[in-house]
């Protein structure tokens, strides 16, 4: 059994190489009010620390967007049109993969991905149950770009 990381441990681990922006607690509250979707606590903690940012891990590059861009980029990429409002796009691999909060699961939103060029709901792949586990997988080298 692997040790489970906390979001604080993930932040501490990625902070030396993460290109971060200042956190945006006001943007988090505004987004939740506008979308009426509660963001997961670990997701909010990370985006309070870094509202967007990027980092290269052993198996993947992560480029997370600013909170205020979630809906704008979601519209530009037609996420709502093709996948519906149960998904919130929040970043990419710097290439064809879009990372999403997937609100279809009863346990709460999971981290999922889909190819920007194939926005078919049947192609959405759940990656991790939380942002914490998503980042921990990247840190451990278990999140591999080619596997997505």
Domain of 132: which CATH number? 3.40.1580.10
Q: Is residue 1 part of a domain?
A: no
Q: Tell me, what's the pLDDT at 65?
A: 95
Q: Is residue 86 part of a domain?
A: yes
- Per-residue pLDDT tens digits for 77-96: 999 899 998 999 999 999 99
Neighbouring residues of 30: CB distance < 8 A, sequence distance ≥ 6: 68
User: What secondary structure does DSSP assign to 6-34, as a single string?
Assistant: PHHHHHHHHTTT-EE----HHHHHHHHHH
Q: Tell me, what's the pLDDT at 1?
A: 39
Q: Is residue 2 part of a domain?
A: no
Q: What is the mean pLDDT of the chain?
A: 93
- Per-residue pLDDT tens digits for 91-147: 999 999 999 999 998 888 999 999 999 899 999 999 999 999 999 999 999 999 989
User: What secondary structure does DSSP assign to 71-95, as a single string?
Assistant: HHHHHHTTHHHHH-TTEEEEEE-SS
Burial of 12 (0-12, 13-18, 19+ CB in 10 A): exposed
User: What secondary structure does DSSP assign to 124-135, as a single string?
Assistant: -EEEESSHHHHH
For residue 2, is pLDDT > 80?
no
Q: Is residue 85 part of a domain?
A: yes
Mean pLDDT across the stretch 30-54?
93
Q: Tell me, what's the pLDDT at 3?
A: 57
Q: Tell me, what's the pLDDT at 125?
A: 97
Q: Is residue 23 part of a domain?
A: yes
Residue 69: C-alpha distances to residues 1, 5, 78, 147 (Å): 37, 28, 13, 26
Domain that holds residue 61: 7-147
pTM across the whole model = 0.93
Of the ranges 3-7, 60-64, 115-119, the best mean pLDDT one: 60-64
């Amino acid at each position: 059994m692997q040790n489970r990381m906390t979001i604080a441990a993930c932040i501490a681990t990625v902070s030396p190489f993460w290109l971060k922006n200042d956190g945006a607690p006001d943007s988090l509250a505004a987004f939740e009010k506008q979308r009426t979707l509660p963001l997961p606590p670990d997701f909010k903690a990370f985006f309070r620390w870094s509202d967007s940012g990027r980092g290269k891990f052993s198996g993947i590059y992560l480029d997370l967007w600013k909170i205020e861009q979630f809906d704008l980029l979601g519209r530009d990429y037609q996420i709502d049109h093709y996948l519906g409002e149960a998904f919130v796009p929040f970043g990419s691999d710097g290439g064809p993969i879009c990372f999403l909060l997937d609100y279809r699961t009863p346990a709460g939103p999971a981290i999922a991905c889909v190819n920007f060029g194939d926005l078919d709901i049947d192609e959405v792949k759940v990656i991790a149950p939380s942002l914490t586990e998503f980042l921990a997988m990247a840190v451990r080298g278990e999140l591999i770009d080619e596997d997505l």
